[in-house]
Structure 1
Amino acid sequence: MNEPRWLDDEEQDAWRAMAGIVFALPAALDAQLQRDAGLTHFEYTVLAALSETEGRSLRMSLLATLANGSLSRLSHVVKRLEKQGWVRRATDPDDGRYTVATLTDDGYAKIVATAPGHVEAVRQLVLDPLTRAQTRQLREIGSRISRGLGVPAAGECPELNRPIP
C-alpha cells in the first residue's frame, strides 16, 4: 500500500485558503443576489448564460454544464424561472430528443437589471483585493483546476464561442 502524499506546510496553507473561498464566496454571492434581486447564484448563472448566447437559447444539457449543475437541478430551477416568465422550454427543433431553454424578454430585462449589482459584488469580493497580475494568475489557476475536474474552464466552451459566465 502506498503512503499518503501528505501536504507540506505551504500546500496546507494554500489548500486552507482555497477551501475558505470555496465555502464563503458562494454564500456571499447568494446573499447579495437574494437581497438585491430575489435570485440564487445558480439562477443568476442560468439567466446570464442564456443572455450571452445567440438567440438566447441553449440545450438544457449544455446549460447544466455551463451552470455547473446537474440536469435534474437545472430542470427544477428552470421550472421556477418559467413560473416567473423569465425562461421557456421547448423541444429542440433540430433534434427532438433534447429540450431547449430560451430566455424571454422579461428574463433578459431581469438579468440586465441584476447584473450591475452582481458585478460590483464580484469586484468587491474577488477582484479589487488583487493586482492585475494576480487576477491573471487566478484565471490560470482556476482554469487548471477546472480542467482537472473535467469542467470547462473560462473561455473553453466552443459551443458558445465566448467565455463561460
Structure 2
Amino acid sequence: MSMQMHVNKDMKKRNDTTVKAWVALVKAHSRALATIENSLKAAGMPTLEWYDALLELERAGNQGIRPVSLRAELLLPQYGMSRLVDRLEKAGYLKRTADQKDGRGQRLFITGRGKKTREKMWTVYAPAMEEAVGGTLSQPELRQLTGLLCKLEG
C-alpha cells in the first residue's frame, strides 16, 4: 500500500471520529438545553436566554453594560438583542440609561426585580442542569469533560 493511501485512510478515520464527536456534542447540547428550557417553562419562568441576559447584567454591577457588549456575551444577532432588551425592560428586569462616557450609547442595568427573577430561575435551572449533565456523569467524568471542553474553547 502506498504512503498516499495510508495518509488518506488515516485522514478518513480521523474525519469519521471528528464527525462522531461533533454529532455527539451537538446532540448532548440540544438535549441538555431542552431539559433546562422544559423545566423553566413548567415552572412558569422565562426562557434560558432571559436568564443568561440577567446573569450578565448582574455581573456588570454598578457600571452596567453596553448593549453591544451584552450581545457579544450572549452571541445574539443585533435584531435578537434589541428584542430581548425591549422585553426585559418591559418586564421591569432592566433599566437603560445614557452612557456617561458616550452620549450616543446606552448602558443597561439589572433591576431589583430582575435580580429576584434570576435567583428564582436558578432554583429551577440548577437542578435541571444537574439532571441533564451531572446526573449522568460521575465527578471524575465531569472533570474530564470540563477539561476537554475548555480545550475546545481555546
The change in CA–CA distance for 1:65 and 1:125 in structure 2 (over 3 A counts) is: same
Deviation at 1:51, TM superposition (A): 1.8
Q: Does 2:106 correspond to 1:99?
A: yes
Answer whether contact 1:60 1:71 (CA < 8 A) is retained: no
Answer whether contact 2:61 2:109 (CA < 8 A) is retained: no
In the alignment, what sits opposite 1:118? 125
Q: Distance in 1 between matches of 2:142 and 2:125?
A: 18
1:96 counterpart letter in structure 2: G
Deviation at 1:52, TM superposition (A): 2.6
- Comparing 125-134 with 82-91, greater Cα deviation is found at 125-134
| One of 27, 42, 49 as aligned partner of 1:42 | 49
Kindly tell me the number of residue pairs found equivalent between the two proteins.
144
Unaligned 5+ segments in structure 2 are 1-7
Q: Does 2:145 correspond to 1:133?
A: no
More contact order relative to length (CA 8 Å, sep ≥ 6): 2
TM-score under structure 1 length normalisation: 0.75
TM-score under structure 2 length normalisation: 0.79
How do residues 1-165 of structure 1 correspond to structure 2 at under 5 angstroms? 5-8=11-14, 10-55=17-62, 57-147=64-154
Q: Distance in 2 between matches of 1:86 and 1:133?
A: 38
3-state secondary structure, aligned to 1:52: helix
Unaligned 5+ segments in structure 1 are 148-165
Greater share of helix residues, 1 or 2?
2
Deviation at 1:16, TM superposition (A): 2.7
Please tell me the root mean square deviation across aligned C-alpha atoms, in Å: 2.2
- Comparing 119-128 with 133-142, greater Cα deviation is found at 133-142
Deviation at 1:120, TM superposition (A): 0.8
Deviation at 1:121, TM superposition (A): 0.6
Q: Distance in 2 between matches of 1:17 and 1:126?
A: 14
Answer whether contact 1:64 1:74 (CA < 8 A) is retained: yes
Q: Distance in 2 between matches of 1:56 and 1:37?
A: 31
3-state secondary structure, aligned to 1:38: coil
2:152 counterpart letter in structure 1: I
3-state secondary structure, aligned to 1:89: strand
